[in-house]
Structure 1
Amino acid sequence: MYREFCITRQSSWLFLFICLVFSTVINAKSNSNNNDLIELGRRIYVEGILPSGKSLQGTRAKSVQVEGDAAACETCHRRSGMGSLEGNIVVPPITGRFLFATDDNRPIALVDPRAPKNVTRAHAPYNEKSFGKALLNGLSVSGRNMNALMPQYALNNKEIKALMAYLHSLSAELSPGITDDKVHFATIVTPDVDPKQSDVMLKMINAAFSQRNAAQENYSGRMRMPLDLIPRTLRNWDLKVWELKGTPDTWNAQLEENYRREPVFAVISGLSNTTWTPFHKFCEQQKLPCMLPSINLPPQQTSFYSLYYSGGLELETKVLAKHLRDLGAKSPKRLVQIYRDNESGHAASHALTEALRDSGIQVIDRLLAGQSLDDTNEALKDLSNEDTVMLWLDPSDLSAVGKAATKLAASAIYASGIFVKDDFSAISKEWLSRLHVVYPYELGDKRQKNVSTLVKWLKTWNLPLVNDRFQSEVFFNLLFLTDLFSQMLDNLYRDYMIERAEDMLSLGSNVSVYPHLSLSRGQRFASKGAYIARFDENGNLAAESEWIVP
């Protein structure tokens, strides 16, 4: 009997073990099949490619044929699935959270950044049948005709199920960097940055975060209006400082370690006088928004997650090239560009050479080795009064060249607004009178008006005005971030943040040193031009050209 009991018990354990293994295999196969289905749906949604490899096809407004990526759902509903605004037409969110939601778990999104009360409307949850009707016949779950912009697709049941599976996975969880009570941000400082600048940037961000977090506490405790009942994040903002050490080839490992210790939702602002490429690549790899750093060498590669104020030095080269080309018969035959042997100098000179390729203007490169008279004379040798000179030099070098070139034989002399940094104090009046400045910022009273709000805010927090260029960039970014989060409500997805930024950047007050900031889908540089400026008789830098957009 004991033997029979042991055999029975052993058989039971064996049976349970077999069941467990079988169940694990079944679950793994099920998960694999579901992942395969999600990937098929992703290709339909993002690329407009069917499981067969053929292009997705649809008919818009009963007559307009669309196919491939033009027919892909992402074209209108965006990468996040959170919808968009096409002119005055609202394209609603179509993630699983919105399409298949019931009354007890219904999310809400603002659908028009211009109208804070315009939110998604409640509807019955879609199922496979009603979802199919929406795709095939253009009928909503309530049986109404959808907007004519919504294509009617030729999809089979497998393709409909694949798309449903992908939408269930799309923006289904809050992005990394979001905890129950905090939104974590990072800012980046490279070793070459002046400590005074990094110190004031960090003080500005921390002051703004303190101000915002205090306002959150007041919001949570006060009497609510109907609009206040819309779900929104009341999480506090927290800042991590990623202060890099060493050379650029070591920065990626440092970034990975910082991010591993504590993921952040986005990188905001940041300071660097050297390459930004390691950070650009890191943010793209991690799908991490990188919002408007204060830098001179933004990468020019296509990106989704990195937004910049301007094209930096490369923008200046394109503006100067357009200006010189547009002179027509008065264009110079030869341009001599003088620069230091550093990353910024090489980047600017190379970009200008490329911008003037096929222009008929010969470009000559000259390195400035130092500030001695021999160094400056070597850089300026053999110039004629028919030459144009471009000086990619900082104020100190510009002053040294000016002292050696009081009688410089050149038809026109240009300097870089980015390199000069608004510091003309060491340059003689005679030398200033000959300079044209490629200037990608606002000038005069308009600039003072733009930064007046910044000046008042700094006084409120007892912070110094060290440099209105980068401080206005930081200030604009902080205000813009606040606007973004008020619009995102509790839909804290990184892709959605970038999409909202594209739509909203031009809507807020311009408190920066740029004449105009705007983005649209696919654009990554908010300011797109520059002036050619000169010093007037009163010693003020003034525009001598229109705003040039190359």
Structure 2
Amino acid sequence: MPIILATIKCIICHIPIYAQPIPVNGLDLRVCLVLKTSLKNINKSLAIPCSEDINMNTQTASNRFTGSDHLPHILLTLINMIFFVLLTSCAQSRPDLGKQLYREGKLSSGESVSATTQGDISFSGTQFSCVNCHRRSGYGSSEGGNYVLPVTAPSLFNPRTLDRANLFKKMFKEYQPKRFTARMHMPQMRPAYTDKSLARAIREGIDSAGTQLNPLMPKYQLPDEDMANLIAYLKTLSTMPDPGVDQSTIYFATVISDKIDSVKRRAMLQTMRKFFEWMNRDTRGDLRNPNFSPHYRTEFIKAYRVWNLAVWELKGDPQSWQQQLQVYYQQQPVFAIISGQVTGAWKPVQTFCENMEIPCLFPHTALPEIDKKSAYSVYFNRGLSLEADVIAKQIIQQQADKANIQITQIYSAEQEGMTPADAINNTMKNNNHVQLDNYVFHDIAELQSQLKKLSEIHERPDLLVLWPGAYSREVLEWLQDNPTLANTVYLPSKALDALPQAIPSSLKQRMLFSYPYEVASVQHPRAYRVHAWMNSRGIEVTDKRLQFNTYYALTLVQYGLDAIVDNFSRDYLMEYIEHEAENALNPGTFPRLSLGPGQRFASKGAYIVKLSADEESGVIAVSDWIIP
């Protein structure tokens, strides 16, 4: 008996106490703390220490539980057992399962959540998971005239307060219907939620002030265990700033590999450094004069941070890049990675960003990672995979009246050749009207051999699709010498950068290019502003598209940070970038740039273009904007 009692007491005395209240099965951890304190007081009054206070052994325990104290100790055993059951219940909450419920709409059993909305419309499934409206950050959203309230821990477990800086963008910088403006002027103040009142809000749609929530808010039918898990997770949601920001500085990085062309490297880095200098000059000036604005701007002073840019240079084998990035990050965590250039695929960088939950914004790459759904990596487009899909769609549309479409595809064995070639093969494999012949080359000698064999064929192919990779110049020179190699030759947009000066007119008529950029006859309005900004700072425009796209990424981060104020959540920044991407920031490099919740490619299509007869005019679109 003494040994059993001592064992029970040892277990109880070592139940961990957490820093913040975590509710489980209706018990708040604050109740758990009271239970544990009460138990220790009972023990102390009976002069029975916990094992943490004495070195227990069988003899000592036996001596303590004999004689006239026997009955009190039996009662104490029962009390201890009751407290043990209660305290064990307190330790069962699973914030990780609450996170699963919040993001995926799945209960701890693995079943989908069930709920009703608009009073009586029942549903079950992941499409109504919390994250769809309240977003990954928990800061809510404003869309279509509806304001979705934040559910972060600071907002839920404190009385509602009004912060003009946080509401400024929603009220004055978004086009919303009048009902939205009216809703924003009726804030419906409420006290802080308790575990009980929050569970009521989730199940019954009634807030902590007893006010009915918006009927769009579903009423979730959650078992007690899942409700406890969800509330436990909400108590961890956006409780503190994410890494990469302190009281004075916000840290960013850009990634560049050692084999990137020096001209492209300088063009990108010079644009970024000048932008950071420009931002920091204004920031420091305002911080020196905290009352610089007689109107609203001083309310944003709490959000002001100096921007710091680190250049993370990757060297050697891409297999080692993730480790190199980890070393850089350990030296100084960053809030986001902006822009960047690497040779080959961007996949190692994306994997790092996803693992570390770091926004990775608009790198310059033709090989983004498209096979895995990304939470933190945003691209201009799908690169060569997009261009291949557009070419495939154009071929099928243009050859629709033919019973048999013959295509010859020659591609490099490197990723810039294999990736688009695989996309063409996947599109065409189930088309019974297409006969597709593939030829791969590993070096220039093998390429020349393949092209020579093709030129010796008596009947030239109707359609030739070329993915030259690093051999664009050699392929174009061969075509220049053999202009009638095929009736129509398709090439990627990158080949335009390697065009020889003099191209036979017979070849011009046969060559078509995928072109995922704007084909403009006049200068885009935003381009004038970007040009002026660069000229005034002495930036030499050596690669207009690259530098303009870098500027776009930087301004998007600037606008996103303005919107989140001092709520330094990486997820919140990602959500505003999704929201702001289609704002009037596009410098004219793409016809349209836009994102939505969960979308990670801002431009979705491409043109098919041909070379202009006038060499100074560049290219002319021969198709509409094609979205495959």
TM-score bucket of the superposed structures, by smaller chain? 0.7 to 0.9
**Pair 1:346-2:422 in alignment:** no
Distance 1:105 1:505 in 2: 28
Hey, what does 2:230 align to over in structure 1? 163
Distance 2:147 2:450 in 1: 62
**Pair 1:392-2:467 in alignment:** yes
State the TM-score, normalized to the length of structure 2. 0.78
Identity percentage of aligned residues: 28
Distance 1:86 1:138 in 2: 20
Quote the offset at 1:47 in angstroms.
2.7
238-247 or 138-147: which moved more?
Answer: 138-147
Q: Following superposition of structure 1 onto structure 2, how do residues 365-380 of structure 1 map, counting pairs within 5 Å?
A: 365-367=438-440, 369-370=443-444, 376-378=451-453, 380=455
**Pair 1:309-2:364 in alignment:** no
Hey, what does 1:82 align to over in structure 2? 139
Hey, what does 1:548 align to over in structure 2? 626
Question: Is the CA contact (8 Å cut-off) linking 2:409 and 2:438 kept in structure 1?
Answer: yes
31-40 or 389-398: which moved more?
Answer: 31-40
Hey, what does 2:318 align to over in structure 1? 248
Quote the offset at 1:268 in angstroms.
0.6
Could you tell me which of 592, 595, 603 is aligned with 1:519?
A: 595
Paired residue type of 1:406? P
Aligned residues: 531
Hey, what does 2:263 align to over in structure 1? 196
Hey, what does 1:442 align to over in structure 2? 518
Could you tell me which of 358, 369, 376 is aligned with 1:299?
A: 369
- In structure 2, the CA distance between the partners of 1:252 and 1:384, relative to structure 1 (3 Å rule), is same
Distance 2:547 2:88 in 1: 50
72-81 or 218-227: which moved more?
Answer: 218-227
Question: Is the CA contact (8 Å cut-off) linking 2:473 and 2:498 kept in structure 1?
Answer: no
Hey, what does 1:364 align to over in structure 2? 437
Quote the offset at 1:537 in angstroms.
3.5
Distance 2:530 2:206 in 1: 50
Paired residue type of 1:356? M
Q: Residue by residue, what CA displacement relative to the aligned partner does 1:41-70 show, whole Å, maximum 9, x if unpaired? A: 223322323345543221100111122423
Hey, what does 1:6 align to over in structure 2? none
Could you tell me which of 533, 542, 548 is aligned with 2:609?
A: 533
Hey, what does 2:129 align to over in structure 1? 72
Question: Is the CA contact (8 Å cut-off) linking 1:341 and 1:367 kept in structure 2?
Answer: yes
User: SS at 1:109's partner residue?
Assistant: helix
413-422 or 214-223: which moved more?
Answer: 413-422
Q: Quick check: which has more Rg, 1 or 2?
A: 2
- In structure 2, the CA distance between the partners of 1:86 and 1:215, relative to structure 1 (3 Å rule), is same
> Which runs of 5 or more residues in structure 1 are unaligned?
1-13
- In structure 2, the CA distance between the partners of 1:255 and 1:35, relative to structure 1 (3 Å rule), is farther
- In structure 2, the CA distance between the partners of 1:529 and 1:488, relative to structure 1 (3 Å rule), is same
- In structure 2, the CA distance between the partners of 1:329 and 1:101, relative to structure 1 (3 Å rule), is same
Distance 1:73 1:279 in 2: 29
Quote the offset at 1:230 in angstroms.
4.6
Hey, what does 2:157 align to over in structure 1? 100
Could you tell me which of 203, 225, 228 is aligned with 1:136?
A: 203
Distance 2:542 2:610 in 1: 24
Question: Is the CA contact (8 Å cut-off) linking 2:407 and 2:461 kept in structure 1?
Answer: no
Q: Residue by residue, what CA displacement relative to the aligned partner does 1:125-158 show, whole Å, maximum 9, x if unpaired? A: 2223432332222123333321111011234555
Quote the offset at 1:480 in angstroms.
0.8
Quote the offset at 1:184 in angstroms.
0.8
- In structure 2, the CA distance between the partners of 1:52 and 1:277, relative to structure 1 (3 Å rule), is closer
Distance 2:605 2:379 in 1: 13
Q: Following superposition of structure 1 onto structure 2, how do residues 104-123 of structure 1 map, counting pairs within 5 Å?
A: 109-110=166-167, 115-116=172-173, 121=187, 123=190
Quote the offset at 1:429 in angstroms.
4.3
**Pair 1:499-2:533 in alignment:** no
Q: Residue by residue, what CA displacement relative to the aligned partner does 1:5-61 show, whole Å, maximum 9, x if unpaired? A: xxxxxxxxx979834999xxx9xx989966833234223322323345543221100
Quote the offset at 1:303 in angstroms.
1.0
User: SS at 1:18's partner residue?
Assistant: coil
Quote the offset at 1:243 in angstroms.
0.7
Question: Is the CA contact (8 Å cut-off) linking 1:399 and 1:426 kept in structure 2?
Answer: no
Could you tell me which of 324, 346, 359 is aligned with 1:289?
A: 359
Could you tell me which of 93, 97, 100 is aligned with 1:36?
A: 93
Hey, what does 1:267 align to over in structure 2? 337
Question: Is the CA contact (8 Å cut-off) linking 1:367 and 1:379 kept in structure 2?
Answer: no
- In structure 2, the CA distance between the partners of 1:94 and 1:448, relative to structure 1 (3 Å rule), is closer
Question: Is the CA contact (8 Å cut-off) linking 1:313 and 1:418 kept in structure 2?
Answer: no
Hey, what does 1:183 align to over in structure 2? 250
Distance 2:528 2:458 in 1: 44
Quote the offset at 1:107 in angstroms.
10
Distance 1:95 1:141 in 2: 15
Q: Residue by residue, what CA displacement relative to the aligned partner does 1:460-503 show, whole Å, maximum 9, x if unpaired? A: 11111111221111011011111111011111111111122122
Quote the offset at 1:356 in angstroms.
1.7
User: SS at 1:418's partner residue?
Assistant: helix
Quote the offset at 1:111 in angstroms.
8.3
Q: Residue by residue, what CA displacement relative to the aligned partner does 1:423-448 show, whole Å, maximum 9, x if unpaired? A: 55364444223211111111132565
Q: Residue by residue, what CA displacement relative to the aligned partner does 1:304-328 show, whole Å, maximum 9, x if unpaired? A: 1110000000001100111111120
Q: Following superposition of structure 1 onto structure 2, how do residues 214-253 of structure 1 map, counting pairs within 5 Å?
A: 214-220=281-287, 221=289, 222-226=292-296, 228-230=298-300, 232-253=302-323
499-508 or 469-478: which moved more?
Answer: 499-508
- In structure 2, the CA distance between the partners of 1:108 and 1:430, relative to structure 1 (3 Å rule), is same
Q: Residue by residue, what CA displacement relative to the aligned partner does 1:152-198 show, whole Å, maximum 9, x if unpaired? A: 12345554443222111011111111122111111111233101111
Question: Is the CA contact (8 Å cut-off) linking 2:252 and 2:309 kept in structure 1?
Answer: yes
Question: Is the CA contact (8 Å cut-off) linking 2:472 and 2:495 kept in structure 1?
Answer: yes
Hey, what does 1:401 align to over in structure 2? 478
Paired residue type of 1:396? R
155-164 or 178-187: which moved more?
Answer: 155-164
Q: Residue by residue, what CA displacement relative to the aligned partner does 1:62-110 show, whole Å, maximum 9, x if unpaired? A: 1111224233212211111111224221111111111122479979634
Hey, what does 2:216 align to over in structure 1? 149
Distance 1:41 1:287 in 2: 19
Paired residue type of 1:392? W
Distance 1:428 1:461 in 2: 41
**Pair 1:125-2:192 in alignment:** yes
Distance 2:520 2:326 in 1: 43
Distance 2:448 2:202 in 1: 75
- In structure 2, the CA distance between the partners of 1:320 and 1:278, relative to structure 1 (3 Å rule), is same
Hey, what does 2:27 align to over in structure 1? none
- In structure 2, the CA distance between the partners of 1:332 and 1:320, relative to structure 1 (3 Å rule), is farther
Hey, what does 2:106 align to over in structure 1? 49
108-117 or 223-232: which moved more?
Answer: 108-117
Distance 1:334 1:130 in 2: 68
Hey, what does 2:497 align to over in structure 1? 421
Could you tell me which of 529, 533, 546 is aligned with 1:457?
A: 533
Q: Residue by residue, what CA displacement relative to the aligned partner does 1:289-345 show, whole Å, maximum 9, x if unpaired? A: 110100010111211111000000000110011111112014862111223342211
